[in-house]
């Protein structure tokens, strides 16, 4: 047989009052943080440095969110000074370790344009060089192996618009159905870029 015990606790009115030095917040008094705008630059060199800093920070954010898979994945940034060149992360360096000084500047042939101790991923170069060539409107491209992205890609179908947050991507995502393994030839890079088309 079970029994139920009830306990009543009471407190004096004085102990429930807020101290005078800690008044309650006024309704709607919380200020939301503002989104940082892209600054204006005095020179293309200043714009380049700012963009590279943003890129290095993005790598660290992606690492913190778990969007890195060992040393796989890459990001590229069209160079503001010379749009025929782009910056890419070094080969075999974890996202969490990438600094501005580690970024590698390359041309469309894969030739490194500034002295660096780093090599670049051949597959990353193929994907990004073709994409930057075929899509001059794209300034930044990201290829990740995020856990959820990898799992979803196994289905081979577009992301479904199940929640309102996904509506931003409505009719603007592509699925590459002809994947044949690691991208090692420009033709495969072109196939990827063609599958993307004008979409995100």
Would you give the DSSP letter of residue 164? G
Average pLDDT over residues 107-113: 97
The pair of structure tokens assigned to 9 is: 């606790």
pLDDT by residue (tens digit) across 31-78? 777 788 889 999 999 999 999 999 999 999 999 999 988 788 999 999
Closest CA to 177 of 148, 161, 155: 155
pLDDT by residue (tens digit) across 155-169? 988 888 899 988 888
Highest CATH level, class, for 44-196 = alpha beta
| Predicted TM-score (pTM) above 0.85 | no
Percent with pLDDT over 90 in the chain: 51
d(CA 87, CA 99): 12
Which range scores top for mean pLDDT: 15-24, 35-44, 93-102, 154-163? 93-102
**How many CB atoms within 10 Å of residue 53?**
13
Closest CA to 56 of 88, 91, 11, 79: 88
């Amino acid at each position: 047989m079970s029994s139920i015990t009830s306990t009543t606790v009471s407190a004096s009115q004085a102990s429930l009052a807020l101290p005078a030095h800690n008044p309650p917040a006024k309704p709607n008094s919380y200020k939301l943080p503002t989104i940082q705008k892209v600054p204006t630059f005095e020179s293309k060199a200043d714009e380049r440095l700012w963009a590279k800093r943003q890129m290095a920070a993005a790598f660290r954010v992606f690492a913190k969110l778990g969007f890195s898979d060992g040393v796989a994945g890459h990001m590229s940034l069209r160079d503001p000074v010379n749009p025929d060149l782009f910056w890419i992360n070094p080969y075999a360096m974890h996202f969490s370790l990438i600094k501005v000084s580690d970024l590698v500047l390359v041309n469309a042939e894969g030739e490194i344009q500034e002295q660096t101790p780093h090599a670049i991923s051949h597959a990353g170069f193929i994907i990004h060089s073709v994409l930057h060539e075929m899509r001059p409107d794209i300034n930044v491209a990201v290829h990740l192996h995020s856990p959820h992205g990898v799992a979803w890609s196994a289905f081979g179908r577009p992301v479904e618009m199940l929640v309102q947050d996904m509506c931003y991507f409505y009719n603007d995502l592509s699925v590459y159905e002809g994947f044949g393994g690691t991208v090692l030839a420009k033709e495969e890079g072109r196939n990827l870029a063609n599958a993307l088309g004008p979409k995100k």
